[in-house]
Chain A
Amino acid sequence: MPQFLILNSAFLAMHIPDGFLSLPILGVTWISTIGLITISLKQVESDYQDRTVPLMGVCAAFIFAAQMINFPIPGGTSGHLLGGTLAGVLLGPWAGSLVMSVVFMVQGFVFQDGGITAMGANIFNMGLIGTFGGYYLFRTVRNLVGQGLRGIVVGTAIASWFSVVTASAIAAIQLAISGTVPLLIGMTAMVGWHVMIGVGEALVTVATVTFIWRSRPDLLYTSSKKMNSELLR
């Protein structure tokens, strides 16, 4: 392990540290994140039943653990799972968003991974883009492809890949507005790497969702309308 000397900086994950984002961007990202978390809390209180709780715990634990595992990508870079789409597909956008927020809070407060002032941006980029954008893209693709395993695999793969690439593009825009790096250069670099990192995201997300679909399909999120009609049967 010749690289052990740089161990300290190596674990600084893909999270935005304090100092990269300007005050206006911090404000906008915090307001967006707090707004969406508040709506999520209300939705979970009114729509979710306690049978979701075990999946919330396991999903959060798995995403935290998986985010520690940086996988190498060609060109001397690495990436790790973000997990937003995974949480969205398994738990739905609302409980999924809560779980992602817990992951980033533990990382930021306990392990100094990602800035505290930048936490709103990190939750938004790496969590909520996946739990909302990823989830609704997954549902759209699944409705087009079919409700069986194939629809789940194709939908999950496309949604998780796009959520990572979108997150990197949004981060590039935030960095550019903050005056940290020019838009075009930052965008090219960020999206360039995350096009490859997204493939890793898709592989892990598809494998995990398929595993749960095969072992405990009853745990997968179905929107409340479907849930109600099932209960009425």
Chain B
Amino acid sequence: MHRYSSTQNNRIFILTGLSIALIVAVLLSPFASKNPDGLDRVAQDLKFESKSEKDSIAKKLPFFSIFEEYTMRGVPESVATPLAGLVGTIATFGLSMALGKLTTRQRHISQDDSTLK
């Protein structure tokens, strides 16, 4: 019984999990604390913040013309961070699924088949 419905269960799990992630990234992200975080705070307090590379490699990548940190360029400020969250969450999801599909074994399918026979 369990095996019979496992594909459907997985679909429900993916939809639920991805929805929760998207709600967090899109709807909660504008409410994130604007205080400096652990490392930023230490870098400010101990005056080594200025050592960070202003002209970093990431700013030479084409993505920098679309996103400036977690804000999308060229859209109203109110949706800039939610849109960055949306794109980032889906990209991370897709890349991890693809990596998983490329690396894991397909064994359980053939086992399921043999169980069904």
Contacts and interface: CB of A to CB of B under 8 A. Distances in A.
A20 B52 contact: yes
A70 B105 CA distance: 37
A72 interface: yes
A177 interface: no
Interface-central residue, A50, A66, A103, by most chain B CB under 10 Å: A50
A50 B64 contact: no
Given A14-B39, A186-B46, A64 B89 contact: yes
B105 A14 contact: no
A95 B14 contact: no
Contacts of B95: 60, 102, 105-106
Interface stretch (A4-12, A132-140, A145-153, A154-162): A4-12
Contacts of A11: 32, 69-71, 81
A78 B70 contact: no
A61 B39 contact: no
A144 B41 CA distance: 37
Q: Is the interface of A mostly helix, strand, loop or mixed?
A: helix
Contacts of B45: 189
Nearest to A231: B111
B69 A111 contact: yes
B13 A14 contact: no
Interface string A33-50: 000000001001110111
Kindly name the residue among B18, B28, B39 whose own CB sees the greatest number of chain A CB atoms within 10 A: B39
A119 to B, nearest CB: 9
Contacts of B68: 8, 112
Interface residues of A, number: 85
Contact of A116 (B52, B57, B88, B93): B57
B11 to A, nearest CB: 8
B75 interface: no
B4 to A, nearest CB: 14
B75 to A, nearest CB: 14
B98 to A, nearest CB: 9
Given A41-B103, A62-B21, A190-B39, A115 B56 contact: yes
A112 B84 CA distance: 12
Q: Which A-B residue pairs are the 4 nearest by beta carbons?
A: A58-B17, A60-B96, A65-B25, A19-B53
Interface of B: 2, 6, 9-10, 13-14, 17-18, 20-22, 24-25, 28-29, 31-43, 45-46, 48, 51-53, 56-59, 61, 63-64, 67-71, 81, 84-85, 87-97, 99-101, 103-109, 111
6 contacts: A3-B34, A18-B53, A48-B104, A61-B90, A68-B25, A70-B32
